[in-house]
Amino acid sequence: MKKVVERPVDVFEAFNRAKTGPKVSEKEWDFKIIPQSASALKKKYGIKFNEKEVIPTDKDTINSLFLAGMEMLVQNGVYCINTGRVIKVTEEEVKEAIKKAPDKLVIGEGRDAVDMVPRSPQDSRWPIVQGGPTGAPVSEEIFLPMMQSYAQEAIVDCIVSGVMNTVEGNEPFPNSPWEIKGTRMEVALVRQACHKVGRPGMGL
Amino acid sequence: MRASDPHEMSLLNELKVDLGGLQMIAGWIMNGDIIMIEQMPTFGGYAGGLEETTIVDVSSHLIAFTICNADFHLDGPVHVRWGITTAREPLTVAGHCNMAIDANTHLLTSNQYYPLAQPCTEMCLLETAAQAITDTGSGRELMSGSAAAKGVALDYTTGMEARIMGEAAKAVAGMKVETVNEILDKLISLYEGNYRNPPQGKTFQQCYDVVKVTPTPEYVEVYGKAVETLEGLGLKFTF
């Protein structure tokens, strides 16, 4: 009988499974389960890359990689570091999740919004350009002009922020009030940079 | 943040998650926000070599959509020795992984940029271009970057690196994969011998007028040189 998914898995169900899944030590996961499974699946599917190709052209290699990646997930699941348990999912649940995933997103607002839609390898449209320091540290004194340097680029469609190194001179320690203020200031200053160059709707 | 801004949560290496991340996602779901799930599989890390790391990378993509309610995935295969995404091996992982996802699903994917060299060097721009060419030629939907100097040095990032990321992508969009591979092989060869002794670059303050927010003539010249190098490899820039 064909397996049918009761309902798509989501983050709430993932949490429930993280409380009840099989117990595994993190060490065993990192040093045994991951390397041994990946190696076994490479052998099972006969995957061997052509060293001259950064992008593969062989369809068998491409499809075998997908099957091996799917099997890696279904066979092992996802490890929750807080509970020390494995979140297990079935192949049907993974396929249901793929079906549910969007094939179009709109990033940003108004005239500055960009459509994120599926591309193919030889698509004449280039990918969306999300410009920014990508989490690299930035001095707070120059945060605004640096973010403007991205927002003003014609080829840039939306922004990825950097991390402000200090907030009013204070280090934004994790779980501290300064961390929250720093995050809020980063967002505010990126918005200001977008406003300065007349692109207030740019996604962040 | 607006609902139309991508909200980012990171998975952990490899195929791991923490409850704090799941809790953040719950809030974003209830708010109707765009959710972007990130994972940077490590070449030479727990998984091992090229093929093994790519298998893990494919799994990471699927996890993002299966248990994390991702709207799109942010990749970033990274080299265990150099800590960069622009070396030949992580580019190969990224290129292969996305072809596998692209051929078998409609999922929206992206990649993030961590070159080794610092701004105002040709190497930095060529590294960034190599990854943009890989991402464009393998069908990704979004490029996120760029965190020059491995993303760890204070103030070593500027808008000029994002410019080359976009312009290089535009210059190869529509090219045959075979041609893209030939270009990449030559392009990566130009910088991969310099990881131990990369050229000295400059901070944002040193290569931009921070009041007028314009790059210095020196950086504009370096940019022009990089474009010439890329044109010599077969890229067709249109400005």
Q: Which domain holds residue A18?
A: 11-100
Mean pLDDT of A187-198: 98
- Which residues in A lie closer than 8 A to residue B95 (C-beta atoms)? 53-56
Q: Do B141 and A131 touch (CB under 8 A)?
A: no
Q: Do B106 and A118 touch (CB under 8 A)?
A: yes
Is B183 a domain residue?
yes
Is B1 a domain residue?
no
Q: What is the pTM of this model?
A: 0.97
Is B86 a domain residue?
yes
Residues 6+ apart with CB under 8 A from A60: none
Q: Give A189 to chain B, closest Cα distance, Å.
A: 12
Q: Do A149 and B17 touch (CB under 8 A)?
A: no
Looking at the structure, tell me whether residues A149 and A91 fall in a common domain. Answer: no
Looking at the structure, tell me whether residues A58 and A89 fall in a common domain. Answer: yes
| Helix-helix angle B177-191:B88-104, to 10 degrees | 160
Is B139 a domain residue?
yes
Looking at the structure, tell me whether residues A63 and A139 fall in a common domain. Answer: no
Count of domains in chain B? 1
Looking at the structure, tell me whether residues A55 and A125 fall in a common domain. Answer: no
Domain end among A100, A128, A154: A100
For the beta carbon of residue B235, count every other beta carbon within 10 angstroms: 19
- Which residues in A lie closer than 8 A to residue B164 (C-beta atoms)? none
DSSP annotation string for A145-158: HHHHHHHT-TT--E
CATH of the domain at B172: 3.20.20.460
Q: Tell me: the pLDDT tens digits for A34-81?
A: 999 999 999 999 999 999 999 999 999 999 999 999 999 999 999 999
Handedness of CA A179, A184, A187, A190 (dihedral sign): negative
Q: What angle do CA B181, A118, A97 make, to 5 degrees?
A: 115
Looking at the structure, tell me whether residues A152 and A93 fall in a common domain. Answer: no
Is A96 a domain residue?
yes
Separation CA B223–CA B229 (nearest Å): 10
Looking at the structure, tell me whether residues A87 and A153 fall in a common domain. Answer: no
Q: Tell me: the pLDDT tens digits for A121-160?
A: 999 999 999 999 999 999 999 999 999 999 999 999 999 9
Instruction: Give the pair of three-digit tokens for residue A14.
Output: 């993932």
Q: Tell me: the pLDDT tens digits for B12-64?
A: 999 999 999 999 999 999 999 999 999 999 999 999 999 999 999 999 999 99
Q: Which domain holds residue B35?
A: 6-232
pLDDT at A2 over 80: no
- Closest CA in chain A for residue B180: A55
Task: Please report the ipTM that was assigned to this predicted complex.
Answer: 0.97
Domain end among A77, A100, A123: A100
Looking at the structure, tell me whether residues A33 and A87 fall in a common domain. Answer: yes
- Can you name the residues that pair with A42 across neighbouring β-strands? none
Looking at the structure, tell me whether residues A37 and A17 fall in a common domain. Answer: yes
Count of domains in chain A? 2
Which of B19, B67, B152, B181 to substitute to test the interface with A, most A CBs within 10 Å?
A: B67
pLDDT at B98 over 90: yes
Looking at the structure, tell me whether residues A81 and A112 fall in a common domain. Answer: no
Is B238 a domain residue?
no
Looking at the structure, tell me whether residues A119 and A142 fall in a common domain. Answer: yes
Q: Do A54 and B51 touch (CB under 8 A)?
A: no
- Which residues in B lie closer than 8 A to residue A97 (C-beta atoms)? 62, 65-67
pLDDT tier for residue B221 given thresholds of 50, 70 and 90 = very high
SS3 assignment for chain B: CCCCCEEEEECECCCEECHHHHHHHHHHHHHCCEEEEECCCEECCCCCCHHHHHHHHHHHHHHHHHHCCCCEEEECCEECCCCCCCCHHHHHHHHHHHHHHHHHCCCCEEEECCCCCCCCCHHHHHHHHHHHHHHHHCCCCEEEECCCHHHCCCCCCCHHHHHHHHHHHHHHCCCCHHHHHHHHHHHHHHHHHHCCCCCCCCCHHHHEECCCCEECHHHHHHHHHHHHHHHHCCCCCCC
Domain end among A53, A75, A100: A100
Is A80 a domain residue?
yes
Is B108 a domain residue?
yes
How much is the mean pLDDT over chain B? 98
Looking at the structure, tell me whether residues A41 and A66 fall in a common domain. Answer: yes
